[in-house]
Structure 1
Amino acid sequence: MSSADKNLSVFKTDGLPDISSRKFAILVAEWNSEVTEKLFEGAYNTLIQYGAEAENIERGNVPGSFELTTGSLWYALRRDIDAVIALGVVIQGETKHNDYINHAVAQGLTNVSLKTEKPVIFGVLTPNTMEQALERAGGIHGNKGDEAAMTAIKMLGLYSEVARHGSH
């Protein structure tokens, strides 16, 4: 379902884990900061709303979305970080740069998650226009930052469930 058909800030909250002792890193791309700051606010506020302690949320800034991969790896390698949320926006331009960046970031964040066995959440908007980006950063389609934070919470819950029944 596309975000045009779904509000990014509406999600099921049944059975969420206790995250009061979990530590989160939120990486924020500085490029298009008018959008990424709103994504950060959404992610931060959602974590707080669902039980995270403010002192357990650490922010890191990277120059652009492409650098989210390396920054996420650095945080995910830390023993005290339980989940990483990577926030950025890559707007379609006159060239195909967005295709290359979006693919590289998605693949890179997936690789970081697999390497570290921690949730590393892709909270990167890939809109065609700045207007579409703003609509998904607290506008009419909700906030991708909210969705990214909730994804991190749910993945931590799933990990705990799997660990209870397996060898993790």
Structure 2
Amino acid sequence: MALSSDSNTLLDLSEIMHLRNGKVGIVYTEWNDAIINEQIAGAKRIAEQTGNTVSNLVKVPGCFEIPYACKALYEQTVNDADGPNAIIAFGAVIRGGTPHFDYVCKAVTEGILQLNLTLPVPVIFGVLTLDNDAQAWERLGGVHGHKGEEAMIAALKMIAMQNNLQ
């Protein structure tokens, strides 16, 4: 089982502390809102700590709708100077007693993959795929780190990577 502490460079903020154009949009679900609210809070903490911003917050009903909303957010802000240069997708899918979990997880994963191959801004996969509610809290400040914070770190590092390629 992978732990955040197994990859110290992932959590190193030094390369993004001087990034000042980090505008990150967040697309998030209404389902499992206590979990999602903590993911967003973690992302905002890192943005504030590094002097970057959350430029947009877009709410969708569930994880299946995330890829559409990410694409719509990009298309609506492409000519906006304050639009995001990265997007984070936050959601939490908790396994139930039917195969619905598998279908939703596969759809959102493949949707975000397609966005990363077609949009000129990175889309960070912040969707938690869980067997139970307790696993979420292990990933939101527990033994598995804080996935909301890690998603923002990944978004800002991807923006820095893009800046370095230009």
Q: Does TM, normalized by the shorter one, top 0.5?
A: yes
The 5 A counterparts of 1:12-161 are 12-16=12-16, 18-53=18-53, 56-77=54-75, 78-79=77-78, 80-161=83-164
Normalising by structure 1, we get a TM-score of 0.85
Conserved in 2, the CA contact under 8 Å of 1:38 and 1:137? yes
User: Structure 1: which 5+ residue stretches go unaligned?
Assistant: 164-168
* CA apart distance, 1:4: 8.2
Task: For 2:55, give the aligned amino acid.
Answer: I
Q: Is the 8 A contact 1:19 1:51 kept in 2?
A: yes
* Shift in Å, 1:65: 1.2
Structure 2: which amino acid aligns with 1:146? E
Give the superposition deviation at 1:24: 1.5
Distance in structure 2 (CA, Å) of the matches to 1:62 and 1:34? 15
Instruction: Confirm or deny: 8 A CA contact 2:42 2:146 kept in the other structure.
Output: yes
Aligned length: 160
Q: Give SS of 1:86's match.
A: strand
Displacement after TM superposition at 1:17 (Å): 6.3
CA contact (8 A) 1:35 1:89 kept: yes
Q: Secondary structure at the match of 1:49?
A: helix
- Percent sequence identity is 33
Paired residues of 1:83 and 1:156 also in contact (CA < 8 A)? yes
Give the TM-score normalised by the residue count of structure 2. Answer: 0.86
The answer to whether the Cα contact below 8 Å between 1:92 and 1:98 also exists between their aligned partners in 2 is yes
Bigger strand fraction: 2
CA contact (8 A) 1:76 1:112 kept: no
Tell me, which stretches of 5 or more residues in structure 2 are unaligned?
A: none
Once superposed, what is the RMSD of the aligned Cα atoms?
2.2
Q: Is the 8 A contact 1:29 1:64 kept in 2?
A: yes
Q: For each residue in 1:80-118, what CA deviation from the matched residue of structure 2 results, as whole angstroms up to 9, or x when unmatched?
A: 321101100001111121111111111111211221121
The one-letter code sitting in structure 2 at the alignment partner of 1:89 is A
Equivalent residue for 1:166? none
Distance 1:7 1:97, change over 3 A: farther
- Secondary structure in 2 aligned to 1:126? strand
3-state DSSP of counterpart to 1:57: strand
